Chains A and B, each alone.
Chain A
Amino acid sequence: MMAPGRPGDGERRDILGANIVAADVDGGRLADNIAQFARLLRASGLQVGPQKTVLATRAVMAAGLGDPKVLYWTLHAVFVNRRSERDIFNQAFVLFWRDPDYIKKMLSLVVPQYKPPKSNADEKALSRRLAEAMVSGHQPDLSRESDEIEFTAEATFSDREAFQAKDFEQMSAEELARARVEIARLAVPFEEIRTRRFERASRGGRLDLRRVLREAAQKGPEHLRDLRKRPARRRLPIVILADISGSMDSYARILLHFIYALTNDRDEVHAFLFGTRLTNISHLLEDRDPDRAIAKVSAEVSDWSGGTRIGQCLDDFNRHWARRVLGRNAVVLLFTDGLDRDGAEGVERAARRLAANAYRLIWLNPLTRYDGYQPLAAGAAALSKNVSEMRDCHNLRSLGDLARALAGGKTPARRMR
């Protein structure tokens, strides 16, 4: 890949030129007003850099100032970068161009106090995860193997086995804290599929003619060697849909740590919570500190421990998100017990569509902890007909198995079809 070009002399001249000309127009008020307007947009959270301001000035001079509508759409084309920014732009435009001086005064009062949100390392110094990491003496980024060695030094093998198999619901607060640390360390490999791109290979694959000919051209025709390439592989994105209703309560919070571990490992993970309505929490989990991320999620989500409307929420996901997040062969993890308040209305149809759009739909069901569990409840039955497989998720071992399964490895699961 080639690096993007840096602004050349041409661009710098353009910037200068635009400013000089704009300064001539209207005694410099135009350039000044656009710069102030850009400040307002920046303060409202739009990504507006100095280059955009210059471009806006040039654009306004090109399109003309005669028609307020043209001015609106000119600035719109420059400053708006995505659909969600349209409303902010609209409000800012109406506010600003009605009386620029008024806004200028307001901005001079407001803007110095505006600070961009940034992570402050000192503030979170006492956060739980850090404290635990210090007490237990683990570095968070140690590899899995070394963790296990250290862990066995602390506890006997059978202790550890028992802990791995213990149901989250049965754990004490202290044990849950320990489980959270374990989960945070869970390395989650992703399943990979072939792409249409190629990478060098030592053998197999097919002939890499570009390299073969390059070498022959440089060294002579007798150097036609058998050089190979093979399709590159790509990780499958993961989409998580987690039920946080009352019946899932004791699992949902610990699973949130698992979701956090998944999200922060890779970039292509989207997470949604649902009870009575669907909430996208992907951006909330981007915080580097898990405690803070999970606190944010708790604050954002209003339907903790309430009822479940699985059909409605899955349908909502299918309509509004599936096309955007399932487009690239995503593996969907559905955490739910399948117990639905609405009498499983629409679950069957929504689950069928979800399965059709996903590369693999994995149902993680905490109820499988009971021997002889059968998905007989209406919602559960509807789900079981459509998922690729059902897995346990009630203890550490099952989450570890799941992590390996996501890498395409074979670990015990109940095949559902």
Chain B
Amino acid sequence: MTDHPADVAAMKDLLLANGYVADQAIATALFLALTLERPLLLEGEAGVGKTEIATTIAAGLGRPLIRLQCYEGLDVANAAYEWNYSRQLLHIRAVEAAQGGAIDLATLESDLYSEAFLLKRPLLQALEAASEGAPPVLLIDELDRADAPFEAFLLEILADYRFTIPEIGTIAAKQPPLVILTSNRTREIHDAVRRRCFYHWVDYPSLERELAILRLKVPEAPEVLRREVVRFIQSIRQMDLYKSPGIAETINWAQALTSLSYVALDATAVDSTLGTLLKYQDDIQKIEGSEAARLLAEIKTEARTAQAAAEADGDGA
């Protein structure tokens, strides 16, 4: 287990060392969540790297990652714990066969509701793991997909890192796990949950940061291609698309272009790989062809100007 980073800069370095290019904002939020032992709520468009943050910090701290994927109708039985009913039934039959009519009911009940018959789901696993060794990173992914009753159930866990199983008692984590919640905002998360968390809106990255991400994630791509890819994507994000490409799409696109052996963007390259970038037919139609050509021309001019400026700087120095 790696030690807890001493300050925000150390947190940033830790994330970078594990393959995540963090900006000041996210590093600060994560540092605070870890230091002050509070959950962190990350909101943002799909594909901006919210889930990635959790997996990276888990790897960086050398802690286990426990992930709970939310969906509509997610309940306590699937999120926290459930009793193993078939084993319980078998146990009842076995006791019946062994003891006949004279069954000790008190023993039967305490046997049936002992840990041996407990199925542990992610939330319980996280609290238990936190009591045993290194507190894990608990990722509650896409909380907006779960419903309001589940959010209400989460409140106790988020505030006190414990919850109650009626048959056993309260399960509390000795050391709080690092809890990271993500939401794509298909539904607003309730204020009560927000109040218990640090909050961060994960935005699309700046040009420099996106380029740094590509260098890290697709090192095999030529630098010229990476620059053009990032510029192209940054400019289509300014357009009115149904779904703007996220960082995940940027990486996929750069990988696709590289594996097709392109060293720079051109009209054919864009048109033939646009499907890795845009996921709606309307958006593809809008960009494909003339619009893509216009953007490409713009990028190439920009690149030339930037290069000329760089050379002028070099001459001056």
Is this pair of chains taken from one and the same complex?
yes
Known contacts: A58-B36, A70-B28. The answer to whether A327 contacts B199 by CB under 8 A is: no
A58 to B36, CA, bound (A): 8
Contact yes or no, B156 A70, CB < 8 A: no
B8 and A349 within 8 A (CB): no
Q: Is the CB of B38 within 8 A of A69?
A: no
User: Are the CB atoms of B156 and A3 closer together than 8 Å?
Assistant: yes
Complex Cα gap A2–B154 (Å): 9
Which residues of A in the span 16-49 have a Cβ within 8 Å of any Cβ on B? Answer: 47, 49
Asked if residues B198 and A78 are in contact (CB atoms below 8 Å), the reply is yes
Question: Shortest CB–CB separation between residue B106 and chain A, in angstroms?
Answer: 10
Report the minimal beta-carbon distance from A77 to chain B, rounded to whole angstroms. Answer: 4
Complex contacts, A2 vs chain B, CB 8 Å: 153, 156, 163-164
Q: Does B271 contact A (CB under 8 A)?
A: no
Measured in the bound complex, the distance between the Cα atoms of B155 and A63 in whole Å is 26
Spot the interface stretch: B107-115, B206-214, B215-223, B308-316.
B107-115
Q: How far is the CA of A82 from the CA of B199 in the complex (A)?
A: 7
- The distance in angstroms between the C-alpha atoms of A51 and B186, with both chains bound, is 28
Chain A contacts for B160, CB-based, 8 A: 5, 8
Query: How far apart are A80's CB and chain B's nearest CB, in angstroms?
Result: 5
Contact indicator A4/B85 (Cβ below 8 Å): no
A143 CB to closest chain B CB (Å) equals 27
Q: At the interface, yes or no: B291 with Cβ under 8 Å from chain A?
A: no
Chain A contributes a number of interface residues (CB within 8 A of B) equal to 51
Is A220 in the interface zone, CB < 8 Å from B? Answer: yes
Shortest CB distance A244–B (Å): 24
Known contacts: A2-B163, A77-B32. The answer to whether A83 contacts B200 by CB under 8 A is no
B156 to A220, Cβ gap below 8 A?
no
If the complex has contacts A62-B35, A213-B83, are A328 and B72 also in contact, measured as CB distance less than 8 A? yes
Q: Scoring A residues 53 to 91 as 1 if CB is less than 8 Å from chain B, else 0, what string do you get? A: 001001100111001011001101110111100100000
Instruction: Using known A-B contacts A76-B25, A81-B199, A323-B186, determine if residue A5 contacts B159 with beta carbons closer than 8 Å.
Output: yes
Tell me if A83 and B201 are in contact (CB < 8 A): yes
Taken together as a complex, chains A and B put the C-alpha atoms of A177 and B201 apart, in Å, by 47
In the assembled complex, which residues on chain A have CB atoms less than 8 Å from the CB atom of B225? none
Give residues of chain A (132-150) contacting chain B, Cβ–Cβ below 8 Å. none
| A110 interface residue per 8 A CB criterion | no
State whether the Cβ of B95 lies closer than 8 Å to any Cβ in chain A: yes
| B185 contacts across to A, CB distance below 8 A | 83, 323-324
Contact flags B73-95 to A (C-beta < 8 A → 1, else 0): 11100000001010011001101
Among B71, B163, B187, B240, max chain A CB count under 10 A is at: B187
Inter-chain contact A319/B43, CB cutoff 8 Å = no
- Per a CB cutoff under 8 Å, which of A1, A216, A319 touches B242? A319
**Is A213 within 8 A of B32, CB to CB?**
no
8 A Cβ contacts from A318-358 to B? 318-319, 323-324, 327-328, 349, 353
Q: Does A106 contact B (CB under 8 A)?
A: no
Q: How far is the CB of B69 from chain A (nearest CB, A)?
A: 14
Q: From the candidates B24, B95, B199, name the one contacting A69 in the complex (CB within 8 A).
A: B24
What separation, in Å, do the CA atoms of A224 and B108 have in the docked complex?
14
Q: Does B317 count as interface, using CB distance less than 8 angstroms? A: no
Looking across the interface, which residue of chain B has its beta carbon closest to that of A85? B199
Question: Which residues A213-230 have CB closer than 8 A to chain B?
Answer: 213, 216-221, 224
Q: Write the chain B residue with the least CB distance to A329.
A: B72
B residues near A218, Cβ cutoff 8 Å? 105, 109
Q: With A62-B36, A70-B28 given, is the CB distance from A324 to B186 under 8 Å?
A: yes
B31 within 8 A of A: yes
A sample of 19 cross-chain residue pairs with beta-carbon separation below 8 angstroms, ordered by A number, consists of A2-B163, A3-B156, A4-B152, A4-B192, A47-B195, A55-B38, A64-B7, A70-B8, A73-B28, A73-B29, A77-B29, A77-B200, A196-B74, A217-B92, A220-B103, A221-B92, A319-B240, A319-B242, A324-B187
Residues of chain A touching chain B, judged by Cβ–Cβ distance below 8 Å, are: 1-5, 8, 47, 49, 51-52, 55, 58-59, 62-64, 67, 69-70, 73-74, 76-78, 80-83, 86, 195-197, 209-210, 212-213, 216-221, 224, 318-319, 323-324, 327-328, 349, 353
